[in-house]
Chain A
Amino acid sequence: MFTKSQWLRLAIISVLIMGLVAGCTNKEEVKTTEEAQVEQKEPATLNVWILDRVGTDAMAAVSDVIQAWAAETGNTVNITEGNQFEMLNNIPVAIPAGEGPDVFMTVNNYVGGHYLGGLIVPIQDSFTDADSYIPGALDAFTVDGQLLGVPVAADVNALVYNKAKVAEAPATMQELISVSKELTKGDEYGLLYQIDSFWYSYPFFSAHGGYIFKWTGSGWDTSDLGLNTSEGIAGLQYIRDMVTVENLMPADTTWEVMNAYFTEGKSAMIITSPTMIPSFKEAGIEVGVAPIPTIEGVGTPKPFATYTGFSVSAYSKYQEEAIDLVQYIGANSGKPLYEANSGNIPVYSSVLNDSALSSDVELAAWMSQLANSDPLPNIDAMNYVWTPVTTAFQTVVHGEANAATALAEAQELILQSLQGITQ
């Protein structure tokens, strides 16, 4: 089959390959002994991942805070910046492989899954700063009574209005609706937002007492759903009536339309998050921000809030330093993050006492909306909520189904799916 020289070649190649394989394993052995030595030395080296979620300038701002901690404590920190989705997709693979960060920026709706997967550690035992955070911010990072991260910034929807068209924000929803009706004519609108979206319309749903999962004080009860309840049904009917009875806006208003119309001055009020404000101001709109007004005789609308924060890897060899670092970031990055990008609403309460920020009326409005908000559930059961609930909201607002039937179907589907995954 083979000639002598061919056998020789084959032998050489296989020796080379074996050498390569052996080389790899040797290297790893060397690495682990090196790591063992490092462990005995005092100063730690931490790898930190931060996400573009907060904005490019804000990534630099939070890096400065992290490096300040390193300088104070004598530890070394290696910072990696990256795209939010790429980085968070890598976490479940990278951390168990030993290539992940010790500390990473995260979003509160990921911590439930990360905790289930054993990727992050509870930090409440060495967390001393709990009273300094605004209410709800730490709940957003709590699963089964375990604190799984430190919040640094929040994102929430509130009422954003054009001061040239509405001098003062309406005090009640009743007032808002009547003002809005007066302003709605032709191609101009009073209130305009993505009304068939569960995310944007949730505040009116929650004002009536609707919810997704019941918050027990230390976690979410996935067997207690608040969709198919008389409160939930009343909430969805209220949202539908804004389209069908009050004729405030078309049912298929999209996010893009909302932004375009507000930028062109063709809508007076929208419901949105702080991220878009700078571009409205650039377009010359006189922007005002206010909490979504209460529905008199019903309740106060509570939009969803999501929180950006930092979690500690369960695989980190420097748990103590890592937890110290996340506390430090929590206490020190609120103001720089907000100043670098006004989309990052501070959650550390003393930030508002800062003289530079105490006169910031917009910030005060965002923070008062944040005080009236529901944290987006941080458990992976949410994956089975989005489609059924979106279906219910879309079909009802578009007039294709009635609220009671749609919500009953949605609740039934969610409970069925959840039975399927918790076995």
Chain B
Amino acid sequence: MEMPTRIQKPRKPIYPYFYLLPGLTAILFSIIIPGAMTIYYAFTNYSLRHLQDWGWIGWENFEKIFVGSNRGEFLGVFSWNMQWALISTIGSALVGLILAMLLNNKRVVERNFYRVLLILPWALPSTITILTWKGLFNSSFGPINRMLGSIGIAAIPWLSNSTWARATCLLVNIWIGYPFMMSAFLGGLQSIPEELYDACQVDGANGWQAFRHITLPMLRSIVLPLLVSGFAMNFGNFGVIYLLTEGGPFKSPSVLAGATDLLSTYMYKVAFGATNFDYGLASANGLLIFLIVGSLTLINLSMTGAFQEVKE
């Protein structure tokens, strides 16, 4: 009889890499090289002033962002950016959840009709809807203030007062963001077996208890990844602010940032505002945003366990 051969460690074959080569090449050229170049440029003075003689300048770009000629505007913008991302994400999730539960109620006969209406903000091109909101919210000419005026409410400075402008921007962003959350929740709600609710009724639970102990836990695995990625997406939002307020209204003393400027619109002004092309500074800003979003996402993921595989 032969000696039982030792179980060989399975060899790592090379050919899978060969099959992966096209994909890996694409990743190399579209993600790894540009990413590495951004990190490199962040430490250089590559800009319109130094197109030929650009070189390594160490941490100077980061100094400029935190203390230098931009006078620490970054921190103010950053704190508003955090509030913006948090409120937008939670707000659109809440609105989405409430609407999804209403639509999921079988006693609402015409719910398909409502569903179409409610999904519209998602279906319409946001460039157009944002500009429409801008017109609606104008405090002297906008229909919203005219309507309020006709019932005796004084004109609200929707976009011209910095606190109101922030609230208005959030409102518009939540309006744009809720249909996605709503559809996701609706899918989640429909996958919860009816029997659970029947059993729960038999046990004498009230509506809130059913929501708290059945609906919420069952939705958890759907909601958490959405919240985490929604936060990351809202954090880097550009279009809403750029189109709605262009970062304004402006308050003294501001060198570049207005009251509603987010990091992305601020970075755009720093790097490409007017005719200033400061690629180095823009890369430094981009790197910072990447680090912030990246680390916040990591923290979110580990705290919520959103993307953990379900253990058997």
Residues of A within 8 A of B (CB): 1-3, 6, 9-10, 13, 89, 92, 96, 109-110, 112-114, 116-119, 250-254, 256-257, 380, 382-384, 386-388, 390-392, 394-395, 398, 401, 406, 409-410, 412-413, 416-417, 419-421
Q: Which 10 A-B pairs have the closest CB atoms?
A: A420-B69, A250-B140, A391-B250, A383-B276, A383-B274, A117-B48, A117-B51, A6-B14, A113-B275, A257-B141
Interface size on B, residues (CB 8 A): 44
What A residues does B249 contact at CB under 8 A? 394
Please pick, from B12, B139, B252, B269, the residue contacting A395 in the complex, using a CB distance under 8 A.
B252
Interface string of B158-201 (1 = CB under 8 A from A): 01100000000000000000000000000000000000000000
**Chain B residues with CB under 8 A of A117:** 48-51, 277
Quick check: is B273 within 8 A (CB to CB) of the other chain? yes
> Is A116 within 8 A of B252, CB to CB?
no
Tell me if A256 and B18 are in contact (CB < 8 A). Answer: no
Q: Within the complex, which residue of A9, A92, A96 is in contact with B15, where a contact is CB–CB below 8 Å?
A: A9
CB neighbours (8 Å) of A256 from chain B are: 134-135
Of the candidates A2, A252, A384, which one forms a contact with B139 in the assembled complex, judged by CB atoms under 8 Å apart? A252
Selected A-B contacts with CB under 8 Å, 11 pairs: A6-B14, A9-B14, A117-B50, A252-B140, A383-B274, A387-B254, A390-B248, A391-B252, A394-B249, A410-B252, A416-B71
Residues of A within 8 A of B141 (CB): 250, 253-254, 257
A392 to chain B, nearest CB (A): 7
Q: How far is the CB of B38 from chain A (nearest CB, A)?
A: 14
Residue from B12, B138, B252, B272 in contact with A89 in the complex, judged by beta carbons closer than 8 Å: B272
| Cβ of A110 to closest chain B Cβ, rounded Å | 5
CB <8 Å contact, B138 and A257: yes
User: Is the Cβ of A6 less than 8 Å from the Cβ of B15?
Assistant: yes
Residues of chain A contacted by B71 (CB below 8 angstroms): 416
Smallest Cβ distance from A109 to chain B, in angstroms? 6
Q: Does B232 contact A (CB under 8 A)?
A: no
Contact A109 B51 (CB under 8 A): no
Q: Write the nearest CB–CB distance from A257 to chain B, whole angstroms.
A: 5
Q: Check B253 for interface membership: any CB of A closer than 8 A.
A: yes
Task: Report whether B13 and A384 are in contact in the complex, using a CB–CB cutoff of 8 Å.
Answer: no
Residues of chain A within 8 A (CB-CB) of B248 are: 390, 394
- Which residues of A sit under 8 angstroms from B269, Cβ to Cβ? 387
Binary flags per residue of B225-245, CB closer than 8 Å to A gives 1, else 0: 000000000000000000000
Q: A2-B14, A117-B50 are in contact. List 17 more A-B contacts (CB 8 A).
A: A96-B52, A117-B51, A118-B52, A250-B139, A254-B141, A257-B135, A257-B140, A383-B273, A384-B255, A386-B273, A387-B255, A390-B248, A391-B252, A392-B252, A395-B251, A412-B253, A416-B255
The number of inter-chain residue pairs (CB within 8 angstroms) is: 123
Q: Is B96 an interface residue (CB 8 A)?
A: no
For the complex, give the distance between the alpha carbons of A392 and B252 in Å: 8
Q: Which residue of A13, A382, A387 is within 8 Å of B256 (Cβ)?
A: A387
> Which one, B52, B274, B277, contacts A382 given CB within 8 A?
B274
Q: Which residues of B (26-79) have their CB < 8 Å from a CB of A?
A: 48-52, 64, 68-71
Give every chain B residue within 8 A of A392 (Cβ-Cβ). 252
Is the Cβ of B69 less than 8 Å from the Cβ of A417?
yes
Q: Does B280 contact A (CB under 8 A)?
A: no
Q: Give every chain A residue within 8 A of B267 (Cβ-Cβ).
A: none
Most chain A CB neighbours (cut-off 10 Å) among B15, B49, B71, B272:
B49
Task: Please give, as numbers and ranges, the residues of chain B lying within 8 Å of A253 by CB-CB distance.
Answer: 140-141
Chain A residues contacting B254 (CB-CB under 8 Å) are 387-388, 391, 413
Contacts of A10 in B (CB 8 A): 14
Complex contact B51–A383 (CB within 8 A): no
